[in-house]
Structure 1
Amino acid sequence: MKVALVTGAAKGLGLEWCHQLGLKGYKVILTARNFEQAQLAASELNQQDLVIYPKALDVANESEIEDLASWATELFGRVDLIVNNAGINPKDYADKSRMAKAFNLSQLDYQEMLQVIQINSLAPLMMVKHFLPLLKKSEKPLVVNISSWLSSVSQLSFGGHYGYVGSKNLLNVLNKSMALELKNEGIICVNVNPGWVKTQMGGQKATFTTEESVKNLIKNIVEKVSLEETGSFLNFDGSPHPW
């Protein structure tokens, strides 16, 4: 059985990734900052005869990433797929004064901006850094980073929203650089736009359910992407997304 790891997977898109990959026969490591939430989510999936392992992980804590990699090494010896789904969007903060510090130019705050960048842009690289030995042992290692259409410079049509827009755009270029470095290792690294999805972040007016979005991503990208496409920014249907 292939082994997959999904970050930020206690709910929403991440949870659906675990569900769909489990149905495809993967052993799935379901991670979330709160272990009880991860455990509850995994328990519900395991009742469907899936193979889901709950683990606590704060992707902003490198020592936790390193510990998780050590655990996965002992239990599985390899990882075939990493889905870097964990992310934050300041517009969802309950404290709107805090949101403004990563949203409006007049109120921008270094530390608030850096926290968004740490989680959305840098954490995916740190995941690959520590899981690299496990990815190298896979026959077709794949890293999928969840980006956003908002990361596209050419398609951006409004101002503000600096924390999220900037962090996802940075993720795009960092992933391309990582992909070029790892290409000779046979490791595919792609960023994906999952579409407008009905989640807490996307809202209920969105186009896709989480099930529809993840099924598209697995069918059109996970099962089809090639090493020649490493570093790409792809839509949910597998087509190139404008940078």
Structure 2
Amino acid sequence: MNIALVTGAYKGLGFEWCRQLGRRGYKVILTARDFEKARKAAEVLNQEDLVVYPKQLEVTDESALQELANWGQEMFSRIDLIVNNAGINPKDYSDKNQMAKAFYLDQLDAEEMLKVIHVNSLSPLLVVKHFRSLLKKSQNPKVINISSWLSSVSLLRFGGHYGYVGSKNLLNILNKSMALELQKDGIISVNVNPGWVKTDMGGQKAQFSSDEAVQNILSNVVDKIHLGDSGAFMNFDGILHPW
């Protein structure tokens, strides 16, 4: 039975990742910053006869990451798939003054920008840093980092939105570099644009439901990628996305 770790997974796209991986026979580690939210989400999935373990995790906290990796080592001795789904988008902040500090040029604040970069750009690498030894023990280790079409320099057609656009673009190049380092371990790591998804972030007018979005990525990316794809920025349909 394969083992998967999904970050930011108590709702939306992350929750659906846990459900569909569970249906595929994975044992799934479902993480959230709030343990009670993780526990309730896992309870729903366990009632569907899936094997889901709720864990509290702040992805920017390296001591918490190492603690979870130690637990994973004791429980399973390996990890087969990591889905780095956790992320923040300043446009969704309830505090619009805080939002403006990572959104508009006139209000731009370096500290607020760095908070977004820490979560969206650096944390996926930190997760892999602490779980690398467990990934190396898998026969087919894979890392899926959830990016966005907004990270594409060539496709961007509007200004502002600096925190989210910049952090996802940075994630693309950082993963490229990480993937080249991980190739010698046989670990595949790709970034994926899931498309416009009906979540709290995407809204209800979006193209795909969470169910459809995860199915797309599982069928077109997870099931098909090989070591030569590592470092790629891919679309939900498995085609390379413009940088």
Same structural fold, with TM-score higher than 0.5 when normalized by the shorter chain: yes
Which one-letter code corresponds to 2:162 in the other structure? Answer: Y
Name the counterpart of 2:120: 120
1:11-50 alignment, distance < 5 Å: 11-50=11-50
In structure 2, the gaps of 5 or more residues are none
Name the counterpart of 1:167: 167
Distance across 2 between alignment mates of 1:116 and 1:133: 27
Distance across 2 between alignment mates of 1:159 and 1:128: 32
CA shift for structure 1 position 158? 0.2
CA shift for structure 1 position 60? 1.1
Name the counterpart of 1:187: 187
Q: Deviations over 1:183-216 (max 9, x none)?
A: 1111000000001000000000000000000001
For these two proteins, the number of residue pairs brought into alignment is 243
1:43-58 alignment, distance < 5 Å: 43-58=43-58
Which one-letter code corresponds to 1:111 in the other structure? Answer: E
SS at 1:119 equivalent: helix
SS at 2:182 equivalent: helix
Name the counterpart of 1:140: 140
Question: Cα RMSD (Å) of the superposition?
Answer: 0.4
1:89-100 alignment, distance < 5 Å: 89-100=89-100
Name the counterpart of 2:201: 201
Distance across 2 between alignment mates of 1:35 and 1:182: 31
Distance across 2 between alignment mates of 1:132 and 1:173: 19
Name the counterpart of 2:213: 213
Name the counterpart of 1:68: 68
Identity of aligned residues (%): 69
SS at 1:143 equivalent: strand
SS at 2:78 equivalent: coil
Which one-letter code corresponds to 1:106 in the other structure? Answer: D
SS at 1:211 equivalent: helix
Which one-letter code corresponds to 2:110 in the other structure? Answer: Y
SS at 1:68 equivalent: helix
SS at 1:41 equivalent: helix
CA shift for structure 1 position 58? 0.3
Distance across 1 between alignment mates of 2:66 and 2:157: 39
SS at 1:144 equivalent: strand
Distance across 2 between alignment mates of 1:181 and 1:61: 23
CA shift for structure 1 position 4? 0.2
Which one-letter code corresponds to 1:192 in the other structure? Answer: V
SS at 2:72 equivalent: helix
SS at 2:138 equivalent: coil
Which one-letter code corresponds to 1:5 in the other structure? Answer: L
In structure 1, the gaps of 5 or more residues are none
SS at 1:198 equivalent: coil
SS at 1:53 equivalent: strand
Distance across 1 between alignment mates of 2:133 and 2:61: 19
Name the counterpart of 1:3: 3
Distance across 2 between alignment mates of 1:7 and 1:186: 22
Which one-letter code corresponds to 1:149 in the other structure? Answer: W
CA shift for structure 1 position 100? 0.2
